[in-house]
Chains A and B, each alone.
Chain A
């Protein structure tokens, strides 16, 4: 589903990713862990095509397409979803208008008519309920004045509405209390399916107590320096990252 080969990327002229290789199969959940500044968030932004993130070498294939050639919205319509670590506030545009526009864009891609208002409201309300957000959030400006936890749940709600093939969750667990963490985990687990994959970018093993990963990778210095099963996450929790960085160096 996703094939990243020898990916190099820079931000503001500074090399961040230095030869990252990763393959994700449909149905899999991958966790990417690593110390601060290792390039975890950069990976998500590069995949989503954020301006200012320059790919200098390597390839990324998603569902058989070279997505580095595609615009951000084209990648999204193919089924790539990035839950932001810091979701953007957009005052004056309601969550509802925003979601409807996004849902219709996905439907257009699949050759479907725009969703009718009644069906849309029904599924938006259900998604709100699933992530434990009050329905009044639909009428508020996108992320406007939301708490950190509410923003994260709003990201998750979008994921549910857009039904991506591959969802990258960029530190969606950070700053969440244990209840909110469980809400996120339940949301992801409910969406797991044989044709959908997840990449969980996280600092802590904590999230992986609730979402069981198929593979765990450690990102350091812009490359994946070790991969393993969920046991690796526990080992990292116990020993930290320093021993791996030492090994690599």
Chain B
């Protein structure tokens, strides 16, 4: 562990503000004391991080235009914040924040803001839990702190785009987002990861913390639209207070390595969490979602639906855990994971895990791995639709049901054609879906 990322960590320590130095050091200590997971590590059994065992340079500031790297961002009619290779790009970002929202980059924080960040940073992601959180802490030169005032009803989407462009050699990017939703506030936050076409290998470590105070409602999207050589290991860590409601939508196209951990803790009675996700690896790509919802208190609910289509030689992992603690009576939780394999060489490993230690609960879970339904395929063909187009339509239908759960309409309109086209390399086959 000594060499890996050393240069990046040194650079981060040079750039980080003084008030974060001890934070970085602590992270570095934890990182260096650990070993990289192997296939024998239970939570990494089906995902190899072998591809990370190579030198990654620190990210350089970049002035490239989004058009040059062929990254398209949706117009969502809200506020946008753009980072390229980990560096903030004010000229690509929005000017005016909606009322009730404050946003500060760690690098710009004044003493008061720094204090506020330190008060909340790490509360959900933990300081001892995950190896890659330690790495994120160790490389924390900059981050974003987003605060929704108590009672604020923010209708406009807050869109944070993390883009990786090109550099001379393989490089790594560290990203951190801390969202604090005040009591009875309402907001919509979109995290959007994108990569340039034909870029060299990159490794992004993106950690997000969502802190929902009493009665707060957050609609959250984490879109991994990076492709091919853009590797990502990261996670979303959420704390839900009394009657808080988190609606979190996840999407991942594949790349050489993509691993996202989602951990939601119900910490106040009456909290509700909706987790929806779609993953679409193809070629030789790999996607791994590990989700865990902790029901630590009574009277909370969880609805979780993840669906994946795995094509070609690609592989996917879904591990969905729901843990109901002894006092968490009156819990209602359901988890469903369905997978579609569109080639004989595609692979999926799915494991729903329900751990229930309370006796007055309603829980259900299920996982399926299947191929396209022959009867449906035949039905479409009896209407003159070619077998190839019918396959694309049925595949799209399979994920479209989950996509409908994304409430942000302009975002859905942005994603629909993108996902439909993803299902076939021949755009003619998805023309009736876009």
Genuine A/B complex: yes
Contact B394 A90 (CB under 8 A): yes
Chain A, interface size category, equals 20 to 34
Residues of the B chain whose Cβ atoms lie less than 8 Å from the Cβ of A100: 432
Partner of B382, one of A82, A90, A91, A106: A82
Distance from A109 Cβ to chain B, minimum over Cβ atoms (Å): 7
A153 at the interface (CB under 8 A from B): no
Residues of the A chain whose Cβ atoms lie less than 8 Å from the Cβ of B399: 92
Q: How far is the CA of A51 from the CA of B386 in the complex (A)?
A: 15
Contact A50 B378 (CB under 8 A): yes
Distance from A101 Cβ to chain B, minimum over Cβ atoms (Å): 4
Partner of A101, one of B378, B382, B397, B432: B432
Distance from B416 Cβ to chain A, minimum over Cβ atoms (Å): 11
| A73 and B375 contact, Cβ closer than 8 Å, known pairs A91-B401, A101-B432, A104-B432 | no
Contact B375 A77 (CB under 8 A): no
Partner of B387, one of A71, A81, A141, A162: A71
Residues of the B chain whose Cβ atoms lie less than 8 Å from the Cβ of A114: 431
B396 at the interface (CB under 8 A from A): yes
Q: How far is the CA of A87 from the CA of B380 in the complex (A)?
A: 11
Contact A105 B379 (CB under 8 A): no
Contact A90 B379 (CB under 8 A): yes
Residues of the B chain whose Cβ atoms lie less than 8 Å from the Cβ of A88: 375-376, 379
Contact B401 A105 (CB under 8 A): no
From 324 to 351 in chain B, residues with beta carbon under 8 angstroms from any chain A beta carbon are none
Residues of the B chain whose Cβ atoms lie less than 8 Å from the Cβ of A102: 380, 383-385
From 146 to 162 in chain A, residues with beta carbon under 8 angstroms from any chain B beta carbon are 158, 162
Partner of A71, one of B376, B381, B389: B381
Closest to B434 in A: A97
B61 at the interface (CB under 8 A from A): no
Residues of the A chain whose Cβ atoms lie less than 8 Å from the Cβ of B433: 93, 97
A-B pair number, CB within 8 angstroms: 83
Residues of the A chain whose Cβ atoms lie less than 8 Å from the Cβ of B252: none
Distance from B141 Cβ to chain A, minimum over Cβ atoms (Å): 43
Residues of the A chain whose Cβ atoms lie less than 8 Å from the Cβ of B383: 76, 98, 101-102, 105, 158, 162
A48 at the interface (CB under 8 A from B): yes
Residues of the A chain whose Cβ atoms lie less than 8 Å from the Cβ of B385: 73, 98, 101-102, 105
Residues of the B chain whose Cβ atoms lie less than 8 Å from the Cβ of A48: 378, 382
| A90 and B384 contact, Cβ closer than 8 Å, known pairs A97-B432, A97-B433, A100-B432 | no
Residues of the A chain whose Cβ atoms lie less than 8 Å from the Cβ of B382: 48-49, 72-73, 75-76, 81-82, 84
| A90 and B376 contact, Cβ closer than 8 Å, known pairs A101-B393, A109-B384, A141-B397 | yes
Q: How far is the CA of A83 from the CA of B401 in the complex (A)?
A: 26
Residues of the A chain whose Cβ atoms lie less than 8 Å from the Cβ of B397: 90-93, 141
Distance from B194 Cβ to chain A, minimum over Cβ atoms (Å): 25
B398 at the interface (CB under 8 A from A): yes
Distance from B2 Cβ to chain A, minimum over Cβ atoms (Å): 50
Q: How far is the CA of A73 from the CA of B382 in the complex (A)?
A: 5
B3 at the interface (CB under 8 A from A): no
Q: How far is the CA of A47 from the CA of B402 in the complex (A)?
A: 36
Number of interface residues of B (CB under 8 A): 25
Residues of the B chain whose Cβ atoms lie less than 8 Å from the Cβ of A98: 380, 383, 385, 393
Partner of A51, one of B374, B380, B393, B394: B374
Closest to B398 in A: A92
Q: Which secondary structure characterizes the binding site on chain B?
A: helix
Residues of the A chain whose Cβ atoms lie less than 8 Å from the Cβ of B62: none
Distance from B83 Cβ to chain A, minimum over Cβ atoms (Å): 34
Q: How far is the CA of A102 from the CA of B309 in the complex (A)?
A: 24
Residues of the B chain whose Cβ atoms lie less than 8 Å from the Cβ of A73: 381-382, 384-387
B319 at the interface (CB under 8 A from A): no
Contact A93 B384 (CB under 8 A): no
Bitwise interface map of B from 383 to 427 toward A, beta carbon under 8 Å scored 1, else 0: 111110100011011111100000000000000000000000000
Residues of the B chain whose Cβ atoms lie less than 8 Å from the Cβ of A82: 382
Contact A93 B379 (CB under 8 A): no
Bitwise interface map of A from 63 to 89 toward B, beta carbon under 8 Å scored 1, else 0: 000000001110111000110100110
Q: How far is the CA of A102 from the CA of B382 in the complex (A)?
A: 9
Distance from B70 Cβ to chain A, minimum over Cβ atoms (Å): 28
Q: How far is the CA of A215 from the CA of B396 in the complex (A)?
A: 44
Distance from B4 Cβ to chain A, minimum over Cβ atoms (Å): 43
Q: How far is the CA of A101 from the CA of B432 in the complex (A)?
A: 6
Contact B393 A97 (CB under 8 A): yes
Closest to B402 in A: A92
Contact A106 B384 (CB under 8 A): yes
Bitwise interface map of B from 61 to 87 toward A, beta carbon under 8 Å scored 1, else 0: 000000000000000000000000000
| A105 and B376 contact, Cβ closer than 8 Å, known pairs A73-B381, A92-B399, A97-B433 | no
Bitwise interface map of B from 191 to 233 toward A, beta carbon under 8 Å scored 1, else 0: 0000000000000000000000000000000000000000000
Closest to B404 in A: A92
Distance from B10 Cβ to chain A, minimum over Cβ atoms (Å): 49
Residues of the B chain whose Cβ atoms lie less than 8 Å from the Cβ of A162: 383-384
Contact B396 A93 (CB under 8 A): yes
Distance from A12 Cβ to chain B, minimum over Cβ atoms (Å): 14
Distance from B137 Cβ to chain A, minimum over Cβ atoms (Å): 41
Distance from A162 Cβ to chain B, minimum over Cβ atoms (Å): 7
Residues of the A chain whose Cβ atoms lie less than 8 Å from the Cβ of B375: 88
Write the residues of chain B forming the contact surface with A, with a CB cutoff of 8 angstroms.
Answer: 374-376, 378-387, 389, 393-394, 396-401, 431-433
* Interchain Cβ contacts under 8 Å between A and B, 30 examples: A51-B374, A51-B378, A71-B381, A72-B381, A73-B381, A73-B385, A76-B383, A90-B393, A90-B394, A90-B397, A91-B397, A91-B401, A92-B397, A92-B399, A93-B393, A93-B394, A93-B396, A93-B397, A98-B385, A100-B432, A101-B383, A101-B389, A101-B393, A102-B383, A102-B384, A105-B385, A106-B384, A141-B397, A158-B383, A162-B384
Closest 6 CB pairs of A and B: A92-B397, A105-B384, A92-B400, A102-B383, A93-B397, A76-B384
Q: Apart from A73-B382, A73-B385, what 7 extra A-B contacts exist at CB < 8 Å?
A: A48-B382, A49-B382, A88-B379, A101-B380, A101-B432, A102-B385, A109-B384
